[in-house]
Structure 1
């Protein structure tokens, strides 16, 4: 959509320019889109060494697996809410647990879903972003010139898989309903994951503290347990500011100890009580369990779901680590420990069916009861960490797609891009957790709410994954059918079971999701409206001179840097400015600050420029690129760096003209000297930073709903959550002027 400037201008890679090598004519062709070059990431791909991989795997234990790792605290009690009616029911439930953990977290997530990451990021928004990058299904049109090169199905159809992908791509791109449905489904799934981030801390901490009530029921009343849980949760959220890396290194040893102990206790229990518990490996016990219990067995699936809570964290948190590190930690630590723990609990229950309501602590050997209680509390705190980190990750992804108000993102690691902390979201999650735990009070009520969020997100992930399989991976249709028949059908059965408990607490994640969806949709709706407004009113570089002539603008000595979020074209606020202030500085630079997902950007590649013709206007477009580990503040001499790089660009730009058109080198040298002198004189006279800010209102004649969304809901979110312009662009506030205009959408 963005207009190209200097369509016939030639270019070469920056490396050749800096080394002074003369470009060959074959290398002079370029896609003249500043947006394309601004998104290129120098040295972005790095091979992770074995030592780093093992460190990440170790960290991931402390961040990713707390939720699924602490599920042995409450699974059997949520399956048998009314007690065990038949001894073989324990074998049936244990068999269900075994195959559910194997099928969903291990086979589905670890070996399939993790491969569908979007440049290392996981979660629902990552899947949506991945689909959008391979087909034009986003509601905001693609502005990248290179997007058309991603999928060339119509040019090459060698097999059925490619034709199938082309047909699906065509259907999605030509259906406005499909585009809207995908976006809404993504928002809903993301909201459900954030709902998990609220429910996980509550149920995990309450379950762990339940050990005190089991040992001393008279001393620990329900209210005391609730307030103790609240205090622990507040401390947990206060700890988040130290970052995923420190949290991971702090929590990982504790959770490793937890997995070793629950595995050891499991071995002790099935050796001591019933070594034949491994009969549960036979899936016929599942069939007999359903035959014997009918509807009750189906309802109990809502409890079985609790053994895979936190599976979505495997995917949502992968951006904090890496795919291989998560696979290693799951297959070699978490999965074996969980299976041994559940088999041990099953063996204990075969001889003590009356203890099913408190299986974990009842099956813990008395000599290590209190040490296990302490470690269980710490493990529960860690369980809360998994979805909190996942929530930070998906909020960051939603920001990139214009589906959430801009909030402050703090990169907490100098080594890993995905390790972040978002203060506003952390505080909101803390408040939501405290209110939820005070309102529900018991794990039984919370488990009904929790199961709804868990299964819905899993099912939605499968739906998106099927699109990825067809559209991007071009998977064999037989394998897709097998995936649907085995995994998707199982998830649908689980979903039907948790929907049965909607009135008993299942409404909570739905209510949370709808609230978050409202915020996301309002922001995205206005974001799209603003995008189309700027698209319709932007000034092409070719029209700049016409605009200046029409407004009779005078040129003042000095350099002005005009900031906006628009990378392609000149923002419409520029025309508004010159119409009201018919005076411009002698040199004008339209700048956009862009953050890349790499630690640092080399200085020589930080500034990308384009010149707006005619040359005597002295108007330039610029993208300033930073890595996530580079601090920007008022002490940094950004003007000095920009001026120096702009001088280099002016020289290189004229050199391209000589190489491409055979211009006279003597005349070119004179022009270079003149333009550099103009630039130096302007910068010496003073630099001013102009920041464009657009207020939005619904246009006249708009309906009540549109006016409510734009005038009230959006502007309320913008005032209360969005960062100010100087924080967004990191520019000196002492020499900053804001230029505002009101857009009627």
Structure 2
């Protein structure tokens, strides 16, 4: 029933990760994650004005800031601490938010509202569940803190996406060449992380070895005393004599850690061990050598030329200058890969949490589900990057905007991480506060310095973030309101079962799949359908998709099956639980798997083991292999038309007409026929009869019922509500169809429109 490759096998694979596998992933990560960090030496000193630098003291002090910023933020914060907060192999801002939703109960998402209706699946937690801290209780009860945490998660995500727009645009090459490179980079994205990593990794390796070799030469040849500048005393000297002009110098220093956030955001594409090993053993020491060598060269040549601060000037011999030019061109192109990949990961998580419009997500690896590609987002990022490149044409302004995006995203991660330390890891509040103060203070200082250059390019970042936040908040608000409307207007199952033929309601052959967001009761759109067209199928299956704040849900916990109403009415409920990295509906055999699960439920119901209780009905987790075999055996027929169990075929609802006359002919695909196993005579008579009725209903055909919501704002509502709903309606009309609508034959689809007054 389940695919041969499951998320559980992913977990085991990472747990048993060999050094050979680690080295392979480390090699690939060089071409994806570390391109941005590796090309930072091109811009840290190159975006400064030589006239603002005092050659006698500023250079050593600036290098000291570069060294300690790289050490504190990239090495200590991300490599040693933040990477430990992975959410089953997934990283990024929303991964931290996911942990808080699960273990601190701060979720505001629609799926969290049903916590009292069904027992959700919980992953392992490292914190003590028996005694909750006062802080956890206080945050859980304070609704304002929930909104603040969600806002931080969305804001941090916007910053990572903005970095994915700005970073590809930064280049020293002419505008025409830069645009051509951008088009090539974004065109390659559909090949996936695995292939791109192998293509780009050699470029970054050669680049790092080249600039570190040049740096070592410059240290030995020009100023070997630069090594003493790693002492924090030089930072103290700089701060002691700080003024407005010297503050502007530090604004570019933050670029040395640009790309550090990608180490965590791209965690789902690789493994934690591979990322750590690569940074500690290769990236960090080689970058320190490069920065030290460039500083040593500048200290002896400052004032010789206007371009002395550019890394290209520190290349010792002109005959290898051309090699540097070619390498820097390719390395700059590869440098944008980390932020593009991180944008895909973050948007994939946001979409699963109901905070981003539906887009198509393609999993590019059959081994690591975190490796995703989003075509629509890819082309939007390309267009925006081209617009930035053509519009600014100034590397300094783009660097200012990038620096602000980088440090803002890092500060959000620090805030959320401090909550994770206290609320998820179960550490003391003092340790959580220390993390926030130590790293947050450093990043807050850099943030204030970056704001000094707001009018020099950073303003475009604000426009992008405002637009992105409007999209995310509008979608989240509309999704929540629609779900709340469904909850408030649902009817009990008794309303449906009490309808009798004497009231003009008839049962017709076949199976009706009713897709709904609610997990109990009858959705308003289906009751609206029955009221106006009084007939429904002899077997009804209410299917709900429940997104849980976890990357993956094991197959044994994915399907929850129960009855809705008395047994003789043959009304079932199926709740499909999935994580934000699971892909469950993009298959043609989804409904067949549901039928198999219901068959397993019918055979297991008598035992009543592993039961989950809800206010309305009993739910049983199915999906595991049974000791005595499957209660339903699927047989694949030859290619045939999949017809609908249309209500019109029974004569009950003639307004639908004959499906054969539909303008959309039925899809031609393989149809699965179910039969009872040879040992079915050993089953209880009632179980065998119900299974046979399910098989017969499947043979009669299937129909699919979807609710089509039309949101409108109540009269007298304020402007903000009007604006958010208007944006949601616009986005819903222009985004991808809901997952439940995928691969459903048009001839079997019945959409029921409902007006939602918000």
Equivalent residue number for residue 564 of structure 1: 516
* Residues 154 and 192 of structure 1: CA distance in aligned 2, closer, same or farther (over 3 Å): closer
Matches for 1:501-650 after TM superposition, within 5 Å: 501-541=453-493, 543-546=495-498, 552-592=504-544, 608-623=560-575, 636-650=588-602
Residue 217 of structure 1 is matched in structure 2 by none
Partner of 1:294: 243
CA contact (8 A) 2:52 2:246 kept: no
Rounded Cα–Cα distance in structure 2 between residues aligned with 1:478 and 1:606: 39
| Residue 689 of structure 2 corresponds to residue 718 of structure 1 | no
- Residue 233 in structure 1 maps to residue 204 in structure 2: no
Q: TM-score, normalised by structure 1?
A: 0.84
SS across alignment from 1:730: coil
How many residues end up aligned between the 2 structures? 673
Q: Please give the secondary structure, in 2, of the residue aligned with 1:87.
A: coil
Mapped to 2, the partners of 1:428 and 1:550 lie a distance apart of 57
CA contact (8 A) 1:121 1:319 kept: yes
Once residues 427 and 584 of structure 2 are traced to their aligned partners in structure 1, the CA distance between those partners, rounded to angstroms, is 43
Tell me if the contact between 2:703 and 2:750 (Cα under 8 Å) persists in the aligned partners: yes
Q: Please list the CA deviations of residues 415-452 of structure 1 after superposition, one character each: whole Å capped at 9, or x if unmatched.
A: 10110011111111111111111111111111221221
Q: Match of 1:32?
A: none
Greater shift after overlay, 112-121 or 418-427? 112-121
CA–CA separation in structure 1 for the residues paired with 2:682 and 2:32: 63
CA shift for structure 1 position 345? 0.6
Cα displacement (A) at 1:153: 9.7
Q: Which of the residues 238, 243, 253 maps onto 2:192?
A: 243
Which of the numbers 198, 220, 226 marks the counterpart of 2:165?
198
Are positions 1:143 and 2:95 aligned together? no
C-alpha distance in structure 1 between counterparts of 2:583 and 2:141, whole Å? 42
Cα drift, residue 731 of structure 1: 2.6
Q: Does 1:341 align with 2:290?
A: yes
1:378 equivalent in structure 2: 330
* Alignment of 1:391 onto 2:339: no
2:299 corresponds, among 324, 334, 350, to 350
Indicate the residue corresponding to 1:687 in structure 2.
Answer: 702
Q: What is residue 451 of structure 2 aligned with on the other side?
A: 499
Q: Deviations over 1:152-182 (max 9, x none)?
A: 999845xxxx6xxx22222222222222222
SS at match of 1:180: helix
Which whole-Å deviations, capped at 9, do the CAs of 1:343-376 have from their partners, x for residues lacking one? 1111111211135654310111322211221111
1:610 Cα deviation (Å)? 1.5
CA shift at 1:142, angstroms? 4.3
Q: Any idea what the Cα deviations from partners look like across 1:513-563, whole Å, max 9, x if unmatched?
A: 111000011111111111211222234445542467897521011222222
Correspondence list, 1:254-333, <5 A: 254-292=203-241, 294-333=243-282
Could you tell me how far apart the structure 2 residues matched to 1:704 and 1:630 are?
Answer: 38
The answer to whether the aligner puts 1:126 opposite 2:109 as a matched pair is no
Give the direction of change, closer, same or farther, for the CA distance of 1:282–1:667 in structure 2 (3 Å limit).
closer
Deviation at 1:733, TM superposition (A): 3.4
**CA deviation string 1:558-593 (max 9, x = no partner):** 222222344455433221221122101111112246
* 1:742 correspondence with 2:755: yes
Q: Partners in 1 of 2:454 and 2:127 — Cα distance? A: 44
Report deviation, 1:148. Answer: 11
Note if 1:169 corresponds to 2:136.
Answer: yes
Residue in 2 that maps onto 1:367: 319
TM-aligned CA deviation for residue 122 of structure 1: 1.7
Matches within 5 A, 1:45-84: 45-46=11-12, 47-50=15-18, 51-84=20-53
Q: Distance in 1 between matches of 2:483 and 2:379?
A: 30
Structure 2 residue ranges without an equivalent (≥5): 612-679
Q: Separation in 2 of the partners of 1:147 and 1:683?
A: 30
Q: How does 1:3-42 map to 2 (within 5 A)?
A: none
Q: Matched residues in 2 for 1:684 and 1:702: separation?
A: 50
Answer yes or no: is the 8 Å Cα contact 2:127–2:424 preserved in 1: no
Return the offset for 1:237. Answer: 0.9
Check whether the contact 2:97–2:153 (CA below 8 A) recurs between aligned residues: yes
Whether the 8 Å CA contact 1:266–1:340 is kept in 2: the answer is yes
Report the CA distance shift for 1:347/1:736 in structure 2 as closer, same or farther (over 3 A). same
User: What RMSD, in angstroms, separates the aligned Cα atoms of the two structures?
Assistant: 3.2
SS at match of 2:684: helix
**CA distance in 1 between partners of 2:226 and 2:200 (Å):** 32
Residue by residue, what CA displacement relative to the aligned partner does 1:353-412 show, whole Å, maximum 9, x if unpaired? Answer: 135654310111322211221111111111111111111111111112211111110101
Structure 1, unpaired ranges of 5+:
1-13, 16-39, 210-224, 660-664
- Asked if structure 1 preserves the Cα contact closer than 8 Å seen for 2:55 and 2:299, the reply is no
1:672 alignment partner in structure 2:
687
- Counterpart of 2:628 in structure 1 is none
CA distance 1:289–1:630, change in 2 (3 Å): closer
CA distance in 1, matches of 2:407, 2:508: 63
2:364 corresponding residue in structure 1 = 412
Whether the 8 Å contact between 1:79 and 1:301 is mirrored in structure 2 is no
User: Which region of structure 1 is more displaced relative to structure 2, 480-489 or 467-476?
Assistant: 480-489
1:707 Cα shift? 2.6
CA distance 1:65–1:562, shift in 2 (3 Å): same
Residue equivalent to 2:662: none
In the alignment, the residues of structure 2 paired with residue 236 and residue 523 of structure 1 have an alpha-carbon distance, to the nearest angstrom, of 30
SS in 2 for 1:555: strand
Rounded to whole Å, the distance in 2 between the matches of 1:154 and 1:83 is 54
Greater mean alpha carbon deviation, residues 45-54 or residues 423-432: 45-54
Residue aligned with 1:82, SS? helix
CA-to-partner distance for each residue in 1:59-114, whole Å, 9 max, x for gaps? 11111111111010121122445353233321111111111100111101111111
* Residue of structure 1 in register with 2:640 after alignment: none
Task: Show the counterpart of 1:706.
Answer: 721
Q: Is the 8 A contact 1:691 1:725 kept in 2?
A: no
Greater helix share, structure number: 1
Structure-2 change in CA distance of 1:667 and 1:545 (3 Å):
farther
Q: Is the 8 A contact 2:91 2:268 kept in 1?
A: yes
Structure 1 counterpart of 2:153: 186
Higher relative contact order (CA 8 A, sep 6+): 1
Q: Is the 8 A contact 1:95 1:283 kept in 2?
A: yes
2:128 and 2:231 map into 1 onto residues whose CA distance is 49
CA distance in 1, matches of 2:456, 2:583: 49
Separation in 2 of the partners of 1:682 and 1:67?
Answer: 57
SS in 1 for 2:114: coil
